[in-house]
Amino acid sequence: MKKLAAVSLTAIALAACSETQEAPFETVIASAEDCASFDTSLLGAENAASQWVEASEGVPAFCEVTATLAPAEGSAIGVVFRLPERWEGKVLGLGGGGWAGNVTLMSAADGLSKGYATMQTDGGNAGTDVWANEWVVERPASAEDFSHRAIHEMTVAGKAVADSFYGTQHRRAYYQGCSTGGRMGLMEAQRYPEDYDAIIAGAPVYTLQVQTSSVFRAQNFAAGGGAAGFTPADLQLVQDAAVAMCDAKDGLEDGLINDPANCGFDPASLQCEAGKTDSCLTAPQVGALKSAYEGVRASDGSYSMLPMRKGGEAGWAFFVGVDGTGNDATRGGGLGGLFPLFFAPEEGVTLANFSAANYLTVRSSAFAEMYEARSTDLSAFFGHGGKLLMYHGENDAGPSPVGSADYAEALLAANDAAASQYRYFTLPGVGHCAGGPGADSVDYLGALDAWVETGIAPERLIGGKRDGSLTRPHCAWPNVARFEGEGDPNNPDGWSCVPRS
């Protein structure tokens, strides 16, 4: 039988200083018997089921509820709700990655350990290959599910499940996602502003410019019949040179460029004078680098190829076709699989010949209108007190941090409330969502919850490496961290947040 547990003194203190002055929530305790008797018919799905999962590896025991939702003809949205034994009254929606959803326990583990009831979905496609997206063309209903409907339906159903299972209404609804999950988070704020009280959107793939950038980058490095291609050693050479020039500008030489947008490294400084060697670059390589750093704009003024930041070049090959062949492991971020949506077979459009005119066709398509989360009008979301936390790694070779910075500036300009209800953080040296030499381990959920509960917006987040070797503060846009030159660099107190140069 479910029962209430005594609330902690910490929770009482937080509740006392919250904006809403609401009464403290009393932790609800659930059991395997509650799970076995739970009425899953409220989901309206024939295959809805529940099972109790015992605690393991730091994850508390929980009731797992699964179902397939069908809100429209052709829809088949797989959902998984995990309801922890000790519930703190909050639900947490989680996003996917690439062209797939995410229903893994690994993704839910952090939320479950903090007492959240977690909500996950396969996005309307049961496959887990993040680059296999032919189904988008084959199943229009699934394409719309993945674009925006799946997270919304998951959220509505998940709230109802949690409230019914625990016998009391949830008091907070948060969302967390990175990459495609970041796009899904922005989509929630834009299309379904009432779904969540607060949203975390990391490295959001929020427009198809991410995909077109991938295509044009591969073409860029394939210029001159492959003469502009790079080996891993060449990329390391470039990164070392960029870091050597710009690393110390933040007050500390630590292998990280805190403000790569203002790094003056010129790849021409590495151009060979007398034939290619291990310590220099050819003219085609220098030209390709300059283009990658500057990006390319289409005739409508938008970026058809978003710029790449300086200082993370050694990690580019994971997402970018840099070897001169014109190929990359992602098939243009999956854009190749979507070509039938945009082009007739007789047009003969391929990744190799994809053009500026093709870019405009993609961006003006019905699919782009449905899929892209590009609106900066968050007045409805902010209007009910919604809070949005965005972040992006500066070494990200997938979605460009330039795209996120541009969105942040536009959002701040379009919404007066964003000054207090929106925060954007750049993470020096961090790759796509995580990885890289930077301080990539950040408790975003803890920061978001503290923001909601206290009403105090975070001006910096503390990041680290999981092995404890690095700790750094990440500053809210438009500020950047600077070391004041005293004490241990791994002590965040030695850093201040200053305006970008």
pTM of the model as a whole? 0.94
Token pair 């009393």 is found at 26
Closest CA to 358 of 305, 411, 285: 305
326: left (phi over 0), alpha (psi -120 to 50) or beta: left
In a domain, 303, yes or no: yes
Q: Identify whether 389 is part of a domain.
A: no
Nearest Cα to Cα of residue 186 among 394, 469, 377, 452? 377
**Full residue range of the structural domain in which residue 313 is found:** 209-370
Tell me, yes or no, whether 60 lies in a domain: no
459 vs 87: CA distance, rounded Å: 29
pLDDT of residue 24: 79
Q: Number of structural domains, the chain?
A: 1
Which pLDDT belongs to residue 2? 63
Classify residue 334: in a domain, yes or no.
yes
pLDDT for 321 = 97
123 within 8 A of 96, measured Cβ to Cβ: yes
| Residue 282 placed within a domain | yes
Residue 5 placed within a domain: no
The amino acid at residue 364 is: S
Query: Collapsing DSSP states into helix, strand and coil, what is residue 25?
Result: coil
Q: Does any domain span residue 235?
A: yes
Which among 424, 430, 401 has a CA at the least distance from the CA of 477? 424
Euclidean distance between CA atoms 32 and 83, whole angstroms: 11
The two tokens of residue 215 are 């295509």
DSSP letter, residue 468: S
Q: State the 10-residue block means of pLDDT for the chain, 501 residues long.
A: 43 35 82 97 96 95 98 97 98 97 97 98 94 95 98 98 97 98 98 98 98 98 96 98 97 97 97 92 98 98 98 96 94 96 97 98 98 98 98 98 98 98 98 98 98 97 97 98 94 96 82
Residues, the chain = 501
Angle formed by the axes of helices 356-363 and 209-221, nearest 10°: 170
CA nearest 460: which of 475, 478, 482, 445?
Answer: 475
Segment (H or E) for 405:
helix 401-414
Q: For residue 420, which of 392, 447, 389 has the smallest C-alpha distance?
A: 389
Residue 272 lies in a domain: yes
Q: Which residue type does 181 have?
A: G
CA–CA dist 304, 364 (Å, integer): 13
Contacts of 306 (CB under 8 A, 6+ apart): 209, 210, 213, 295, 399, 400, 402, 403
Instruction: Tell me whether residue 178 is exposed, middle or buried, using C-beta atoms within 10 angstroms of its C-beta: 0 to 12, 13 to 18, 19 or more.
Output: buried
